[in-house]
Amino acid sequence: MPYINKFITVARSQKAYEILINLGFKMREAQRLIDKGRLLCDGAVVSEKNAVLSGEICLIDYEMNPRGLSPIFECDEFAVFDKPSGVLSHPNGRRCEYSLNDEIWHLYGREAAVTHRLDRETSGLIVVSKNLAAQKELKAMFESRAVKKRYVALAGGEICEPFIVDAKMDLASDYDDVKMRMQICENGKAAVTEFEPMEYFADIDATLVRAVPLTGRQHQIRLHLFHVKHAIIGEPLYGLAKERIIKILDGKMSEMERINLTGASRLLLHADEIEFKFRGRKFHIKSKFDVRDEFYRLAKTKFEF
């Protein structure tokens, strides 16, 4: 597990923040760790930075477990990774066994951070800041839609012409334990996506499409394609019964059962290109992943058994 209880020291009437600063943490980092309940004294969570502590001090720390994922582009301020499907953008709790953080903290230290998110099953380009200043700038750019992103998806059925989906969306009222499931709704937030067909595969009745989100809602491309009855092959949420959704999310469905149910062993959505201007320089980065052939191969599997 990446989160472990790490023994630090035995404190004798020392303030909590001083203990962390003596270990090399900056005040801001010390405050963040205490706010997140990561500092323990004799097993009890320390909640105040000025608390005077005496006893055995432990820190719930993130133990990195890198697997050798390297960036496809980097400069002094940021790097771009081609995230594989199935990898979390960042840890989702203390039981998380691996995420992109394992790689970026190993390479660049703990100030490094992802500046936007991709769903776990979505593969493709993700931008990582190497320091706090770059992180602030890059996150602001993503939030203001100053970054242009292009995705490629393999959608069910034949799509012959480009089209635009302009359909508001928001959290489903009954999403509860089925994660962040979204819905189309009149009172939701504006969501617009441009779609363009790239290639139709008659033998699997699916179309490779390019998707350009003009807004940045969670699950936007996925929900918009489902809304127009061209759900992405491998979709684990939309269109499935709750029991099956939970089985997929909990990793309790076999690969073949998942393929037979959704059409593929993973969601066939990939963040393929990213374009932005940073500190006076233009960047246009393209994924190295062979989307066409890989998505076709994954979808074809269902028809080979």
Which residues are tagged catalytic? 119
Q: How far apart are CA 179 and CA 246, in angstroms?
A: 9
**Count helices and strands in the chain by DSSP H and E runs:** 8, 16
First to last CA, the chain: 37
Q: Three-state DSSP class for 300? A: helix
CA distance linking residue 269 with residue 275, whole number of Å: 18
d(C-alpha 287, C-alpha 275), whole Å:
12
For residue 39, give the nearest of 17, 53, 66, 60 by alpha carbon.
Answer: 60
Q: Which two tokens stand for residue 97?
A: 């066994």
Are residues 240 and 178 in contact, defined by beta-carbon separation less than 8 angstroms? no
Q: Region of 37 please: left (phi>0), alpha (psi -120 to 50) or beta.
A: left
Report which of 115, 268, 246, 151 is spatially closest to residue 100, judged by C-alpha positions.
115
185, two tokens: 């709704």
Radius of gyration of the chain (CA): 22
> How far is residue 220's CA from residue 238's CA, in Å, rounded to a whole number?
12
Write down the residue that tokens 């953080």 correspond to.
101
- Beta strand segments in 247-291, E: 269-278, 281-286
User: 154 has which bridge partners?
Assistant: 208
Give the neighbor-by-neighbor strand order of the sheet with 44-45: 3-15, 52-62, 39-41, 44-45
